[in-house]
Amino acid sequence: MANKITEIPLTETYQRKISPVDFCAIYSLMLKRIAKGYSASEVSFLMGRDDGAVGKLERFYYKTLTLEYLHIYTSILDDDALNGIIVSDRDEWHDINYQIVKTTERTVIRHEVFEILNDNNLRQLFNLFEPNPEYDKFKYSTSYEMGIEQAREILKSLLEGVSFQTPESPLDIYRRCRRICTYNSFRPRYVQAALNDITQSKDYPKLKRIKTKKHGYLYEKAF
């Protein structure tokens, strides 16, 4: 297992101009994700998106933020789409300049967002912390490998049966594995890693990952 842990804090700074409404929605989604204990990568996976999709959203880099997107995101967290979404109390309807600072330390990741004022001073709006998932993989390496192995065994047994005859979403696959597994704290990252291994394997029966415009990545048995 590759060690991606940084010993020196890595700071990334971005500036984006978005509406206060979208800002509040993204902040609410981050709160929900961190409270659930999912990493940005895990949510991206469960949504059927590329690995960095949620990370881009949290840097305010997105095209549109629709109600459908909110529904998909929050359903992954077993939450209601509009429950807990913070509503902007600002009177302005124009977009606002924000500065996003993401600091990755050994054990934690810190997310800070500032409003860039007219005089170019910064006003801090939030400061969130979450565990660094790479450190968790390192600290709990045995549990991590055991989780992946159990996910791999479950997926292989499903693949040998009648599952995956039609394309299945990562979320449905994860939920099925979670019902079957005997491992405590069964994480989406275990299924994500196991699916990656199986789709790259030359063994039969084979599983393939397909990309769709509407549903993102799906998984289907290859005949």
Cα three-residue angle 209-212-214, rounded to 5 degrees? 140
CATH of 10-136, one of 1.10.260.40, 3.30.420.40, 3.30.70.3340, 1.20.1250.20: 1.10.260.40
Helix (H, G, I), strand (E, B) or coil at 63: coil
pLDDT at residue number 92: 64
Q: What topology does CATH give the domain 140-222? A: Arc Repressor Mutant, subunit A (1.10.10)
Predicted pLDDT of residue 1: 44
Contact 4, 57 (CB under 8 A): no
Query: What's residue 38's pLDDT?
Result: 95
Residue that the structure tokens 């004022």 belong to: 117
- What does the pLDDT profile of the chain (223 residues) look like in tens digits? 445 655 678 999 999 999 998 999 999 999 999 999 999 999 999 999 999 999 999 999 987 788 888 889 988 988 765 676 777 766 667 899 999 999 999 999 999 999 999 999 999 999 999 999 888 887 777 888 999 999 999 999 999 888 898 999 999 999 999 999 877 789 999 999 999 999 998 888 889 999 998 899 999 998 7
Question: Which residues neighbour 151 within 8 Å (Cβ) at sequence distance 6 or greater?
Answer: 177, 181, 186, 190, 191, 193, 194
| Angstrom distance (rounded) from CA 80 to CA 64 | 20
Nearest to 27 by CA among 59, 51, 67: 59
Q: What is the pLDDT of residue 52?
A: 92
Helix (H, G, I), strand (E, B) or coil at 165: coil
**Within the chain, which residue ranges are assigned CATH 1.10.10.10?**
140-222
Q: Give the pLDDT confidence score for residue 157 in this predicted structure.
A: 92
pTM of the model: 0.88
Residue extent(s) of CATH 1.10.260.40 domains in the chain:
10-136
